Every structure is written in structure tokens, then in C-alpha cells.
Amino acid sequence: MEHPKLIACHECDVLFRKPPRLGGLVARCTRCGAGLKGTHRVGLPLEGICALTIAALITFCIAQAFPVIALETNGIASQTTLLGAVQALWAGHMRLVAIMVLGSSVLFPLIELLAFLYVLVAVRMGRRPPHFNQMLRLIQFVRPWGMIEVFMLGVLITIVKMVSIAQVIPGTGLFAFGALTVMLAVIAAFDPGMLWEVCDEMKIRRPAGIPRSSVNDRRIGEGRASSLREVAATGHVTARHAGLVACHTCGLIQTAIAHQPHQHCSRCNSLLHERRPDSVTRTLSLLVAAALIYVPANLLPIMRASSLGRAEDDTILGGVAYFWTSGDWPLAVVIFVASVLVPMLKLATLALLTLTARRGSDWQPHERARLYRIVERVGRWSMLDVFVVALTVALVHFGSFAFITAGPGALAFGAVVILTMLASHQFDPRLIWDNVRCQQQQLHDIESDQVRSSVASIN
């Protein structure tokens, strides 16, 4: 049975009555502080989001078609587009790095915009388009991997780096990418899970009403139902305790069917699971692989420069030292934080979260939950150096006078970024709270049938 009036926190699994949507306000979990998915709609209406998506798609095409920056020195000129940077990496036999740049800055943002526009136009017209579920799942899958804003910062760092060796001329693509970054930030504020709710409100998928509760649930006395409702509010009743399961894709709360390991969501057809299968094992495996690659990523050259027959290798720490000694200490700090400090802290933080979850620890759950959110938000910015390498390789090719090629450190560093992002996605944050006791009520002392009755009374 579905429970359309309930919502579960995706980080700690606590059940709530679904709050009303109030413009751009965000509903947050009272237990862990996470924003509740499926309740927040950006201030713009669907018409505004649809128009902004069309504008972003047009701007995306302009940004890809025109040069981002151009260099001119000693009468020799060089310019590049984003696709030109990818082609330069491919020609330099750094094909895996080229695929990373192509996917994160071209393919994934384009797929998100096209899929989003396909769904929005149909929903705005009052109908549910074909393959609606697949399109929304695709949007949710590719959204974390689109890194236009990181690429934009990489362009700015490349400009500062190139000023010392040539005249830098901003191109049309640079301004288009700047505008696109702002548009995508507004679009990213819209939770695509809201579109399932919009379709439900239009009664497209389920025109018939959904029964509120079973016969036995309706026989609960008013006094007992009221007291159990208070327990549910103060004792942090989770979906697992209530025998329910929340869909990780669309957020719909449904009754968990015992002894059925492959239960699917009745709304979006995603596979349901109380906790992500083998979350700790998979996260640890990815962390070990990332930690092993992290050492060569910092020791191997990320770029190889050749000028007048003289070759020079450049590592990540060498680039930090270059900007520091050149007086551009703000950029040195940015690169050090994004390329050295952030990956190291991600490894340490995820290791802490995984080991405490493996031991079933209830130590400082709020602090661990905040650390997890920080890791999720800042992990993508470590791709900064990879974008700088791609642009530099494409720009600096002045014949025999000077040219730059990508080094093996670029591949190792890109692998570290991807592995740590995969590790953070595999970790299930609900494991942080599974062994935390409520201060106001001990949930394990409540009878399972009482918990189910309280949830029925809420619904």
C-alpha cells in the first residue's frame, strides 16, 4: 500500500507528514537537518523553468561552438573551444582524460537539459510524456556529473596562468559559459522529483483515490491514535520501524513486502531497498582504490611543457608553487584546496563515515551527517586541475617554439576524483542514524504494531 501523505528523510529515514510547498522555501528534517527531497520547488513556476531550460540549451550550443579563449604571442595565434580541448587530449593519447572532460562538461549537461526540457514541455501541457519515469531517473543520474561551473573556474585559472606567456583574448564561448553557469545553477535548484508530485496532482497516473488505511488501522481508538501520533512526532519513527520503505528515486512511501528482495516502486518502477545493498563494502573498496591512486596523482607530472627544445614536468604541487611565487597567492590557495586538500579530506572523511557505520557507532551523528553533506558538495571541484590541463594543452601549441602535453598525473588525478565521487554516492547516510537512540523515546521499546498504527493515523 502507498502512503502519499508521508515523506521520509533520505538521510536518516524519519517519517513526516508531507509539508505544503511554499514557494522557494525548503523543508528540513528536524532530526538530521537535511533538506527533504520532493518538497522544494524553485521560486520560478514551471513556465519559467521551461523557458530558462530552452535559454540554457541555446547558450550551451553557443558556448560549445565559439572559442573560449585565444592566445597571441610573437605573431603566432592559438585559440580553442571546449571540444577542441577534448580533441587535443585525444590526439595526445590521453583518451581516458578526454572522455572525462567530454562527459563532465559536454555530454552530461546536454543530456540533463534535453531530458529536462522533454519532460517539462509535456507536463506544462498537462500530459505525462512517454518514458516519463526513465527521463526523470536519467536526469537524477547525470546531474551530479555535470561540472560546467568547475570548468568555468578552470578557464579563469588558465587565463591567469597564460597571461605571463602570451596575450590572452577572451572569446565568445567564455561569456556564454559564464551565462550558462548561472542558468544551470537556477535549474539545479529545481528538484526533478517534484514532477512526480505534479503528475499525481493532475491525476494522470492514478486518477482513482488511494485508500488511507486498512480496516484494522481505522479501528484505532481516538485516544490511542492521538498518543501514538505524539510518539511518532517526538520519538522519530523511521520508515524501517514502521515497516515502510521510501523510494530513493521518487520518494514515494510504500509498505515493505517481507521476503521480497526485488520489490519495485509502484510509481517509478525503481528497485526498492531499505538500505543501499553492500553500501559499506562498496564504499571501502572504492576508497582503497582512490587512496592507492592518490599518491601517484600528486607525484607524477600532470603536464609536460617543451620550449625551444627544453622539457619541463609540472606536478600539481608544482603548479601551486608557481602561482605562489608569481604573487598570485589567491589562485595558489584555490588550486591547493581543490586539488590537494579536498581529495585528502574526502578520503579521510569517507573512511571515518564508513568505519563508524561498519561498527554500528552512534558517535556524533549530527557532525558525521554534516561531514557527509560537505563531501557531497565539494567533491566535484577537484576536477579543476583536469580542466586546466585540457585547456592548456589545447592552447599552447606554437609549433617548435612551445607546446604542452598532458602527463600521466592527469589521468591518475581524474581517476581519484571519479572514485571518491562514486564512493560518496555508494555510501548510505541512513547508516549514520540506524544505531542512534532517540533522546525522547526509545523506539525499540515500542511495539511494532503500535508503530504501524501510528503511521496509519498520520496518513
Residues 110-146 have pLDDT tens digits of 999 999 999 999 988 888 889 999 999 999 999 999 9
pLDDT at 344 over 70: yes
* pLDDT tens, residue by residue, 74-120: 777 888 999 999 999 998 888 999 999 999 999 999 999 999 999 99
Largest Cα span, the chain: 89
Range with the lowest mean pLDDT among 257-266, 425-434, 435-444?
435-444
Phi, psi of 202 (to 5 degrees): -80, -5
Q: Would 140 be classed as within a structural domain?
A: no
| Strand 303-307 with 310-314, pairing | antiparallel
Highest-pLDDT range among 11-25, 207-221, 445-459 = 11-25
Q: Are 118 and 144 within 8 A, CB to CB?
A: no
Beta carbons within 10 angstroms of residue 210's beta carbon:
12
pLDDT at 235: 59
> For residue 237, which of 3, 17, 1, 4 has the smallest C-alpha distance?
17
* Angle value at C-alpha 210, between 204 and 215, nearest 5 degrees: 170
Residue 314: strand pairing partners: 303
Q: Are 142 and 108 within 8 A, CB to CB?
A: yes
pLDDT at 399: 54
Sign of the dihedral through C-alpha 28, 138, 87, 386: positive
* Confidence category of residue 23, pLDDT binned at 50, 70, 90: low
How many domains does one find in the chain?
A: 1
* pLDDT tens, residue by residue, 183-194: 999 998 888 878
Domain that holds residue 290: 276-437
pLDDT at 395: 85
* pLDDT tens, residue by residue, 396-421: 875 555 678 888 999 999 999 999 99
Q: Would 22 be classed as within a structural domain?
A: no
Residue type, 303: M
Q: What is the dihedral of CA 431, 435, 440, 443, to 10 degrees?
A: 100
* Confidence category of residue 457, pLDDT binned at 50, 70, 90: low
pLDDT at 48 over 60: yes
The CA distance from 312 to 304, in Å, is 6
Highest-pLDDT range among 16-20, 26-30, 259-263, 385-389 = 385-389
pLDDT at 453: 52
pLDDT at 44: 66
pLDDT at 203: 56
Q: Would 234 be classed as within a structural domain?
A: no
Q: Would 29 be classed as within a structural domain?
A: no
Q: Would 132 be classed as within a structural domain?
A: no
> For residue 221, which of 446, 453, 15 has the smallest C-alpha distance?
453
pLDDT at 325: 85
Q: Would 451 be classed as within a structural domain?
A: no
pLDDT at 112: 95
> Is the pTM above the cut of 0.85?
no
Residue type, 336: F
* Confidence category of residue 177, pLDDT binned at 50, 70, 90: very high
82 sits in which H/E element: helix 82-91
Tell me the mean pLDDT in the region 327-333.
82
CATH of the domain at 315: 1.20.140
pLDDT at 118: 95
Q: Would 384 be classed as within a structural domain?
A: yes
pLDDT at 450 over 60: no
pLDDT at 259 over 60: yes
Count H helices and E strands in the chain, helices first: 18, 11
**CB hemisphere CA count around 38 (13 angstroms):** 26
Range with the lowest mean pLDDT among 16-25, 269-278, 338-347, 413-422?
16-25
